[in-house]
Structure 1
């Protein structure tokens, strides 16, 4: 199988899983949001963000490092699996201890503390699941990860619907997250051992030291990214209350849902980039440019369309109770656009052993985001938090692109792809604004057709793009 076809196959598996997962996830989150109301949704969203930040202690970047190293030498899988499993057991104990201390010191309500504890246990189980998913990625067998995604969302959908039907309170919803994450852990553990590798139970202390040191930049990068994407909800909870967090979370959930698109492509490209870094620098540059172009072309129309249709989307999905979420969505969608664009350079840096450089960039982004939140939240509440996220994402993206530009000239790529996508997006935006009162689904379909036809007319697709597309289709 050619590299192009393998990438297409893996992307298709992940994309299929993500789409099904997204559909299930959309329904269970919307019904949960409507049932719980803004205040309880705010508590749950705070718990998810708070535990996600502290839960980073449970991985230390080990999963990302394992994907890269095992993709280069698959015989290392048993050694990495065994040693990382034991490391994560210790990290899980530390993580839960930190959560207990933090929630009690900060003086949250009894209900909030219980929800945080349950979500923490769920995140710990997910951390172990990520270890086994790293093996699936390293062996480029993404179908197992895709099945896990679908299973996760299907079980969440069943659990949430059951909770609503039984008229359960917020605590049960947190229990659903825990139960589902444990089932997913059992699934990933079983298939990893059955199909790929049995963990070596021999502890290698020198390997521990070397691996942890090597993984720290991956971990710190994740810490800083999570801070500038999730710290705003924690700060809003403290400064403005649970209802405000609920409104903000409603918009943020839609943005998170879009994240599957770059995540799918770059999850499949990460092991490819890692291999090409060793075997062919020219092929790596080609793969980088095509990945970057695809995500820019997809991101820009999403940003323009969502900005125009934000009110219609929020009211349709969440009801009038969440009308205050509209402005936040109009701002946050551009953080999503920038995130799409930034995914490729971030993956490029980590796969070419420049994770320390990326760590510095995301550290600067985290500091900037905290400062901006401290300034903007008191002035503009959750809308200020949204602006802070956009500015931070733009800042980190500039740093990454400039760093890569020093190695390969990106001027033509940036100007050509972004300019032509904006031209096509502007025409599409005029169409959407003119006919915005029409049915949303039909409006989106026609807008997409107009965008891609315009992009083709302005030569947004090169001859080699058509060739690659035909290779994917097997022509």
Structure 2
């Protein structure tokens, strides 16, 4: 529980700082430059699954199971991720050959991408997590975040140009993962200088991880393609308004993840014991997530204009209506996260990839149609449609998931019946 608390502390601190420090940066940059910065980040995130190569979950599992092979696992995974960084950089270059951008934007994208070079060392972070030493990981992550925040504030104070804000991401990543590397070698002096790349292990990792690369890519595209397409159709200003609203919504999207982390082990332990009991527990779990949406979503809906005005100022007042509409994104986020417990326990990861893939294709097609006509509002509405297909509609059509989909719908119309006491037990 102590280790879990460290992780929650870091995540919550990162989300809160992301909103409030992000608001300071947005106020300084203005909607246009903030739009450029957000677009550049989104473009890198779109191809970030190439850099990670889908290895994290697999490597974490191997670190837990094979403690005698730590040096091989760390060295091999780090080398693979450095290769992934090179491939990601090539993908970005290929994108710029297809879709020409301003030179300043291209430079900013490459600078932000450098942060993923240092993230190739995150295998060491996974090692500390496997050893239940989350306090060490969190300490360096918080240090990197804190120094990055100071750097951003300094840039604002000295009226620095936009491109320097890309280096704040590199600084945070470098401090975090170089610091973790020093901690790793200081704690395991017996393996210092003996790390070596294991080709057999590398091939085994890639054999198991390639489906996760595509899954990660689909998830990232569905989450970030809106900002990239808004940039190409309407320009930086619209992206700036859209991104400012999205950052606020993402802060509340952490709540269902907390619930999942807290209750997933309990639900999973008795998953195959009693199907009727599973349905009752999942129904209450869905009701609880819908109740959280009602509280957070409608609060954002009612206070959207005030929130934008207070955080971002009058330059971003056009984002008020976007935040009001985007508050309903939490409905799909809450059900998407809670639904994943069913997907994981039923071992339906390939099916999940299919539903997310369909949702992503729908999102892209509808964005092409609606963004030119309705701008950022069109992007928000098409996201709702794509999530509706990914989370509800396909599940209702598919017989293995139909009962669970009906439970989700039932929870919406009976949320007040949530049995908190029975659910927690």
| TM norm. shorter chain > 0.5 | yes
1:445 is matched with which residue?
Answer: none
Deviates most, 348-357 or 389-398: 348-357
Q: 352, 355, 364: which is aligned to 1:370?
A: 364
1: CA distance, partners of 2:288 / 2:180: 30
2:263 and 2:398 mapped to 1: Cα distance? 17
1:378, CA displacement in angstroms?
A: 1.1
Matched, 1:326 2:284: no
Q: Distance in 2 between matches of 1:187 and 1:418?
A: 46
Q: Tell me the alpha carbon deviations over residues 390-428 of structure 1, each in whole angstroms, 9 at most, x when there is no partner.
A: 22122211268559983795478535643344xxxxxxx
CA distance in 2, matches of 1:387, 1:232: 11
For 1:38 and 1:86, locate their aligned partners in 2 and report how far apart those are by CA, in whole Å.
39
- Contact 1:361 1:399 (C-alpha < 8 Å) held by counterparts: no
Q: Give 1:166-185 correspondences, 5 Å limit.
A: 166-185=158-177
SS of 1:156's equivalent? helix
| Contact 2:36/2:236 (<8 A) preserved | yes
Please state if 1:126 is matched with 2:92. no
**CA-to-aligned-CA distance 1:349-383 (integer Å, 9 cap, x gap):** 35765432222221111111101111110111111
Distance 2:255 2:414 in 1: 21
- 1:11–1:264: 8 Å Cα contact kept in structure 2? no
* CA apart distance, 1:133: 3.6
Structure 1: distance between partners of 2:191 and 2:245: 42
Change in Cα spacing, 1:113 to 1:40, as seen in structure 2 (3 Å) is: same
Q: Corresponding residue for 2:149?
A: 157
Name the residue aligned to 1:60: 53
Match of 1:201 among 195, 200, 211: 195
Mapped partners of 2:368, 2:328: distance in 1? 21
The change in CA–CA distance for 1:262 and 1:462 in structure 2 (over 3 A counts) is closer
Aligned ranges 1:272-287 → 2 under 5 Å: 272=265, 281-282=272-273
More displaced stretch, 27-36 vs 82-91: 82-91
Find the residue that maps to 1:188 and give its secondary structure: helix
**How much does 1:294 deviate?**
4.6
Q: What is the match of residue 338 of structure 2?
A: 344
* Superposition deviation, residue 384 in structure 1: 0.6
**Residue of structure 2 aligned with 1:359, choices 350, 353, 356:** 353
The structure 2 residue matched to 1:117, chosen from 110, 113, 119, is 110
What corresponds to 1:430 in structure 2? none
Cross-structure match for 2:27: 34
Match 2:309 to one of 315, 323, 346: 315
> Structure 2 CA distance, aligned partners of 1:222 and 1:149?
23
2:8 pairs with 1:50: no
Question: Which stretch shifts more, 378-387 or 303-312?
Answer: 303-312
Separation in structure 1 between the aligned mates of residue 55 and residue 397 of structure 2, nearest angstrom: 25
Q: Give unpaired runs (5+ residues) of structure 1.
A: 1-5, 422-457, 469-475
1:245–1:407 distance in 2 versus 1, CA, 3 Å:
closer
Higher mean displacement: 378-387 or 286-295: 286-295
C-alpha deviations, 1:133-165, integer Å up to 9, x for none?
Answer: 434444555444444553343222211100011
Please state how far the C-alpha of 1:324 moved relative to its aligned partner: 1.3
Q: Is 1:461 aligned with 2:393? A: no
In the superposition, the TM-score normalised over structure 1's length comes to 0.78
Contact 2:144 2:172 in 1 (8 A): yes
Q: Are the counterparts in 1 of residues 286 and 408 from structure 2 also a CA contact under 8 Å?
A: no
C-alpha displacement of 1:283: 9.5
Distance in 2 (CA, whole Å) between partners of 1:402 and 1:135 is 40
Cα pair distance change 1:213/1:327, threshold 3 Å: farther
Alpha-carbon separation, structure 2, partners of 1:148 and 1:259: 24
- Matched position secondary structure for 2:53: coil
Retained in 1: the 8 A contact 2:392–2:405?
no
Q: Which SS does the other structure have where 1:167 is aligned?
A: coil
- Aligned with 1:299 (options 293, 297, 300): 293
* Number of aligned positions between the proteins: 420
The 8 Å contact of residues 346 and 400 in structure 1, kept in 2 or not, is answered as no
Q: Tell me if structure 2 keeps the 8 A contact 1:28–1:156.
A: no
Q: Structure 1 residues 198, 462: CA separation in 2 closer, same or farther (over 3 Å shift)?
A: farther
